[in-house]
């Protein structure tokens, strides 16, 4: 287990990763053709060793083998200072994907984002990342019980990564969490509401954004009572 992060057993997540990254007809097929049958022409598989070899080959060719033993796992850990460019990239791509019109209106450049991340976010927040196979695929920033940011790389969404990060935020915030999101962000609202957050206030975000937003709250006590 890393010193400041948690290694997460990825079985259910990796199943979903595997399924959602395979396209078209390959989606429900093993990565290589299944062997046609147990029988190998020529008679050499008829002895015990040959049969065991065929069974081993058949096991290795199954998708479940690859998703259990060969697929990478997601780990959640605190970001380090040298990861600022990579984390800013995830935050920026995810924002542009979630709200392209708002982002076009605001027009923040990559340099603006890097500056904001280094000068404000890293100084004021506790920043966590999700890593998959050595790549940063998600990030979140918490400031005193308030979830400032939670962003997953667009092509890695709906695989459970946001939930892993949110679970870490909950475990780091024993008195509860609040957050704001845009009212039109149905993806984020569905995500938070399915994970125990309740809308507590509808309003407008500050200038220059000036968008209808909603404040959500989660409390561990309420979640325990609901369970
Ligand atoms: C919100 C976000 C962090 C979720 O991350 P994720 O890795 O996709 O989350 P998970 O895979 O753990 O869970 C996905 C869940 O989100 C919800 N969800 C996803 N897309 C949805 C949609 N179009 N409508 C409603 N709910 C949706 C569902 O509850 C879904 O669970 P399901 O797949 O079991 O149905 C991610 O979509 C994201 O980064 N969005 C862009 C940035 C953003 O809006 N951040 C929040 C700003 S406050």
The chain-wide mean pLDDT, for the chain, equals 81
182 Cα to the center of ligand 1, angstroms: 14
Q: Looking at residue 223, what is its pLDDT?
A: 72
Structure tokens at 105: 């209106």
| Residue 75: other Cβ atoms inside 10 A | 17
Residue with the two structure tokens 């994907």: 97
**Omega into 208 within 30° of 0, i.e. cis?**
yes
| Shortest-distance atom of ligand 1 to CA 193 | 29
Residue 196: phi, psi to the nearest 5?
A: 90, 5
Q: Looking at residue 163, what is its pLDDT?
A: 97
Q: Are 213 and 203 in contact (CB under 8 A)?
A: yes
| Residue 171: other Cβ atoms inside 10 A | 10
- Which residues surround ligand 1 with Cβ inside 6 Å? 94, 98, 150-152, 157-163, 179, 181, 185-188, 190-191, 194
Q: Which residues contact 185 (CB under 8 A, 6 or more apart)?
A: 98, 99
Q: Looking at residue 62, what is its pLDDT?
A: 58
pLDDT, greater one: 9 or 48: 48
Domain boundaries, the chain: 11-70, 74-226
Tell me the β-bridge partners of 126.
142
Residue 219 has pLDDT above 60, yes or no: yes
Q: Which residue has its alpha carbon closest to ligand 1 atom 29?
A: 191
Q: Which residue has its alpha carbon closest to ligand 1 atom 30?
A: 191
Residue 92 binned pLDDT confidence (cut-offs 50, 70, 90)? very high
Cα separation, 122 vs 129, in Å, equals 12
Q: Which residue has its alpha carbon closest to ligand 1 atom 33?
A: 158
24 Cα to the center of ligand 1, angstroms: 23
Q: What is the pTM of this model?
A: 0.74
Q: Taking Cα atoms as reference points, which of 55, 71, 59, 57 lies closest to residue 22?
A: 71
- DSSP 3-state assignment of 140? strand
Structure tokens at 79: 């970001």
Q: Looking at residue 214, what is its pLDDT?
A: 98
Residue 67 has pLDDT above 70, yes or no: no
The CATH number for 74-226, chosen from 3.40.630.30, 3.30.1320.10, 3.30.1360.170, 3.40.50.1000, is 3.40.630.30
Handedness of CA 192, 219, 177, 198 (dihedral sign): positive
pLDDT in tens, 127-138: 999 999 999 999
pLDDT, greater one: 48 or 150: 150
Cα separation, 186 vs 192, in Å, equals 10
């Amino acid at each position: 287990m890393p010193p400041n992060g948690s290694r997460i057993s990825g079985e259910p997540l990796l199943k979903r990763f595997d399924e959602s990254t395979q396209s078209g007809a390959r989606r429900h097929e093993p990565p290589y053709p299944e062997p046609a049958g147990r029988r190998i022409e020529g008679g050499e598989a008829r002895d015990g060793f040959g049969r065991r070899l065929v069974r081993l080959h058949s096991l290795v060719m199954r998708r479940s083998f690859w998703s259990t033993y060969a697929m990478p796992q997601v780990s959640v850990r605190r970001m380090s200072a040298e990861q600022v460019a990579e984390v800013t990239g995830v935050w920026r791509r995810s924002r542009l994907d979630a709200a392209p019109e708002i982002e076009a209106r605001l027009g923040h450049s990559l340099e603006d984002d890097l500056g904001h991340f280094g000068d404000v976010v890293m100084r004021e927040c506790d920043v966590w990342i999700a890593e998959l196979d050595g790549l940063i695929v998600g990030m979140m920033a918490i400031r005193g019980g308030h979830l400032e940011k939670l962003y997953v790389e667009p092509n890695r969404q709906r695989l459970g990564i946001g939930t892993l990060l949110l679970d870490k935020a909950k475990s780091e915030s024993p008195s509860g969490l609040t957050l704001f999101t845009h009212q039109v962000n149905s993806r984020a609202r569905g995500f938070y509401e399915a994970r125990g957050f309740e809308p507590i206030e509808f309003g407008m975000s500050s200038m220059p954004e000036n968008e209808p937003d909603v404040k959500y709250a989660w409390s561990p006590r309420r979640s325990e009572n609901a369970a």
